[in-house]
């Protein structure tokens, strides 16, 4: 009897995983009942009951007409009745873009070979030359201090260089005069610029991601492309795109700005066009833009566009390009976002007439603007803010780790204190993960994807982890971090962090509504198909399509239930790792497999239990999104480690990043289950997913210390962590002294170790803690013949650079007033220089 019951359990789990057809289920059940009746001693009555309970339902599912009549048709009617109403804008958002690795994670059985075989992102020779020369030279022309305190913008020279060297046309094809760079190159440029100057980052970032160029490339008419793209590539036009309205911020689809179809006059000719009224704010590059991309709703009250018989008045969101010198366009004023000096401001217009030809894509694209935005801007969201966040975190990590290694208190470098270890580990582990996510998201775009869900994951989690990194840097720097000046490399970033958290979709919205809300339907292999079938007008087709989708969905749930049980109850050892994976990380691949199956199961159960109300249970959907996000972040770390040749020196960062992400995923599971409305179901799910306790702990104190020491050790591993950021000279940026002092520490320590006997013998005083006093100590050692001339110079350089890096800036009492006068005197240059 025991063997017979065991065969039932094992066979059921195996058939679930194999997702076999109903006829095979029926055959297996009949065989099992027959064996039980013949050999296991079950009686005839028990066999009949088992036939009624198990075999008859399988027979009903196996026979298609019977299945349609008894199951599919009633379920379809229920589904059509309870299906939440979805607006066209919601539908466009869900259907826009493509799925990639996010879809694999949603499957419960990710195909690792697909990810690991994807080529590692790399620059072409042309891209590398531009990165090493033009980007490097631009960095030499700019600094955060000059842009914020002197120009309140980029200098005219920097703007001119940006335009002349093609920075505004990096994504534009060469046939239009652009650079036609890859998404990865775009990401690299933004990252390097943001490691030095935020204003330059935004000036280059927006035209290549949130500007009209991408919309023109995808949807513009040939005439629009031929006119605008060469001018944008050459910097003759400065673009901006206006979407956000005062009363439609996060709910951008509800924009109140309207274009009414009418007959008007343009250039002395009467023509069909639009009379626009808009009021937009937060428009980056808006104050200096020469061409305005505008999103608005088109109303056609007189049905002038109704030749197709349409009686609709509101034709939907539409996008147009408008020269900012066009009569009625109001722009030029600036917002002041947390003392960031990138150009940002409002734009408005009242009853401004434009020809229909100014609609992006012409008349055929009227009403299709929302889908255009959702499809095209997803790529930019995957690159812009993740790349800029990685850049400023590289600056924070390089500066803070050097400072911690060089700065002494209580005669010990502060980088040896465990409290500092905790902060440094938080910085290094998060940066490794952030950069991995940046690289993988750019890779998706270069692979031809429009990764709407992945872009939301990258934007939210990279900016949030950026906040953690910069906050930790401020803790390490202490008083040095809070005094503004050219010597401070982190204060402006700390001050402006909420900008990255807020723009391109506020992080609260992105987490609670987009990542899972969009991902559950976009990435799920069956939900969209079920919804499409439920909305099908042809009832016979609807029945057939829904039948395939629904029973495929049921099979999918059973398969993931089986995978979840087997992986959880085996302690995570059963899910296989790919053969190509590094041996030292295979347990992490199995962990992602385990949590992926559990996530797919939990998602389906949540959608079934909560139905349409899940859309409004934002904390539950937010936590479900967190699970998907953390699995994506772990995947990006595994992919990066593989792409970089499995450098074992990097394992401390890899382990810290993955352990932290797995722990956060586990916490998100617990948060969902703790707040589940059905407590019995929550209990059963907890037993299924975590039967033997919680397997994923936070990174340990020992691992923290290992990461912190790695960050304070000169070598290839630290340079890979900080690769491709800008390294200024001390003449250009005084904070560069910290890195120069840091580079000398190994040699200084070697000299100190050699001098230890002399110090113990009393012939030389101990090395002083104060770097100012160290100069006298060096002279004493040289006079005693204990160090060579070269060693004297090295120690003097260390003392000089170290002292400069410890100092903070101070200014005359009237400094702010003088700076205000300087800014006022530059006001005319500030507005006119980019045009």
| Residues belonging to the active site | 504
Q: Which helix (H) or strand (E) holds 261?
A: strand 258-266
In angstroms, rounded to a whole number, what is the distance separating the alpha carbons of residues 381 and 399?
28
Q: How many CB atoms lie within 10 A of CB 728?
A: 17
Given the DSSP bridges, would you call strands 314-323 and 258-266 parallel, antiparallel or unpaired? unpaired
DSSP 8-state assignment for residue 700: P
Q: Are 530 and 460 in contact (CB under 8 A)?
A: no
The dihedral of CA 398, 399, 400, 406: what is its sign?
positive
84-89 contact pairs (CB < 8 A, 24+): 84/611, 84/612, 84/615, 86/531, 87/253, 88/316, 88/370, 89/253, 89/317, 89/370
Find all residues with CB under 8 Å of 231, minimum gap 6, and list them: 237
Sign of the Cα pseudo-torsion (635, 191, 509, 469, in order): positive
> Cα 724 to chain center, whole Å?
19
Number of Cβ within 10 Å of residue 157's Cβ equals 11
CA angle 113, 438, 208 (to 5 degrees): 120
Q: 579 in helix, strand or coil?
A: coil
Q: 801 CB contacts (<8 Å, ≥6 apart)? A: 730, 737, 738, 740, 741, 744
Q: What are phi and psi of 789, to 5 degrees?
A: -65, -40
Q: Could you tell me if 809 and 486 are in contact, meaning their C-beta atoms sit under 8 angstroms apart?
A: yes
Q: Which residues of 411-423 are buried (b: 16+ CB within 10 A; e: fewer)?
A: eebbbebeebbbb
Residues 684 and 561 sit within 8 Å (Cβ to Cβ): no
Instruction: Tell me the two tokens of residue 521.
Output: 């339907």
* CA dihedral sign of residues 823, 825, 826, 828: positive
């Amino acid at each position: 009897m025991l063997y017979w019951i065991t065969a039932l359990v094992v066979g059921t789990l195996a058939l679930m995983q194999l997702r076999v057809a109903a006829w095979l289920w029926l055959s297996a059940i009949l065989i099992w009942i027959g064996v039980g009746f013949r050999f296991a001693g079950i009686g005839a009555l028990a066999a009949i009951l088992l036939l009624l309970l198990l075999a008859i339902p399988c027979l009903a599912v196996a026979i298609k007409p019977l299945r349609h009549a008894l199951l599919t048709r009633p379920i379809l009617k229920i589904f059509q009745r309870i299906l939440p109403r979805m607006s066209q804008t919601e539908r466009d958002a869900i259907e826009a873009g493509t799925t990639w690795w996010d879809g694999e994670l949603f499957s419960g059985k990710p195909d690792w070979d697909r990810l690991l075989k994807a080529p590692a992102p790399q620059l072409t020779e042309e891209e590398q030359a531009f990165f090493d020369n033009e980007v490097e030279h631009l960095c030499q022309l700019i600094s955060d201090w000059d842009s914020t305190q002197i120009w309140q913008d980029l200098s005219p020279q920097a703007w001119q260089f940006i335009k002349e060297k093609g920075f505004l046309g990096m994504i534009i094809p060469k046939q239009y005069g652009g650079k036609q760079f890859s998404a990865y190159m775009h990401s690299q440029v933004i990252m390097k610029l943001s490691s030095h100057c935020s204003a330059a980052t935004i000036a280059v970032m927006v035209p290549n991601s949130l500007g009209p160029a991408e919309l023109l490339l995808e949807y513009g008419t040939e005439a629009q492309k031929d006119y605008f793209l060469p001018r944008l590539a050459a910097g003759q036009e400065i673009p901006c795109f206006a979407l956000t309205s005062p009363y439609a911020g996060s709910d951008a689809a509800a924009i109140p700005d309207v274009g009414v179809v009418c007959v008007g006059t343009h250039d002395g000719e009467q023509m069909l066009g639009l009379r626009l009224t808009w009021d937009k704010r937060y428009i980056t590059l808006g104050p200096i833009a020469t061409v305005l991309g505008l999103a608005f709703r088109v109303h056609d009250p007189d049905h002038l566009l109704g030749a197709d018989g349409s009686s609709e008045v509101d034709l939907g969101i539409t996008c147009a390009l408008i020269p900012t010198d066009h009569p009625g366009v109001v722009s030029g004023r600036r917002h002041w976002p947390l003392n960031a000096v990138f150009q940002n401001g409002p734009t408005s217009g009242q009853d401004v007439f434009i020809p229909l030809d100014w609609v992006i894509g012409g008349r055929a694209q009227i009403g299709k603007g929302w889908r255009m935005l959702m499809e095209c801007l997803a790529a930019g969201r995957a690159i812009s803010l993740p790349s800029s966040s990685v850049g400023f975190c590289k600056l924070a990590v390089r500066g803070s780790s050097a400072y911690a290694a060089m700065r002494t208190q209580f005669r010990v470098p502060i980088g040896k204190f465990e409290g500092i270890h905790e902060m440094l580990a938080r910085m290094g582990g998060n940066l490794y993960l952030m950069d991995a996510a940046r690289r993988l998201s750019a890779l998706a775009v270069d692979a031809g994807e429009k990764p709407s869900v992945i872009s939301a994951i990258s934007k939210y989690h990279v900016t949030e982890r950026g906040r953690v990194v910069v906050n930790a840097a401020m803790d390490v720097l202490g008083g040095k971090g809070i005094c503004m000046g050219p010597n401070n490399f982190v204060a402006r970033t700390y001050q402006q962090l909420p900008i990255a958290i807020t723009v391109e979709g506020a992080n609260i919205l992105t987490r609670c509504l987009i990542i899972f809300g969009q991902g559950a339907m976009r990435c799920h292999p069956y939900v969209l198909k079920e919804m499409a079938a439920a909305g099908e007008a042809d009832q016979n087709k609807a029945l057939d399509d829904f039948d395939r989708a629904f029973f495929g969905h049921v099979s999918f749930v059973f398969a993931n239930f089986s995978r979840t049980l087997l992986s959880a109850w085996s302690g995570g050892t059963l899910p296989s790792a790919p053969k190509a994976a590094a041996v030292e990380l295979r347990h992490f691949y199995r962990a992602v497999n385990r949590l992926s199956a559990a996530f797919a199961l939990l998602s389906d159960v949540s959608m079934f239990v909560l139905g349409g109300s899940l859309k409004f249970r934002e904390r539950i959907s937010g936590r479900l999104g967190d699970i998907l996000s953390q699995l994506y972040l772990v995947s990006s770390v595994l992919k990066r480690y593989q792409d970089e040749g499995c450098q074992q020196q990097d394992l401390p960062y890899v382990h810290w990043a993955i352990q932290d992400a797995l722990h956060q995923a586990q916490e998100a599971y617990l948060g969902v289950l703790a707040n589940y409305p059905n407590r019995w179901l929550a209990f059963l799910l907890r037993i299924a997913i975590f039967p033997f306790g919680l397997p994923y702990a936070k990174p340990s104190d020992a691992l923290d210390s290992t990461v912190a020491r790695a960050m304070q050790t000169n070598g290839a591993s630290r340079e890979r962590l900080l690769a491709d950021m800008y390294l200024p000279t001390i003449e250009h940026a005084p904070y560069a002294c910290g890195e120069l002092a840091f580079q000398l520490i190994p040699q200084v320590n070697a000299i100190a170790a050699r001098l230890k006997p002399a110090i113990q013998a009393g012939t030389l005083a101990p090395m002083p803690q104060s770097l100012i006093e160290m100069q006298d100590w060096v002279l004493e050692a040289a006079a005693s013949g204990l160090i060579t001339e070269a060693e004297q110079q090295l120690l003097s350089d260390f003392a000089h650079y170290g002292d400069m890096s410890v100092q903070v800036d101070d200014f005359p009492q009237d400094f702010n007033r003088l700076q205000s006068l300087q800014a006022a005197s530059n006001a005319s240059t500030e507005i006119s220089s980019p045009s």
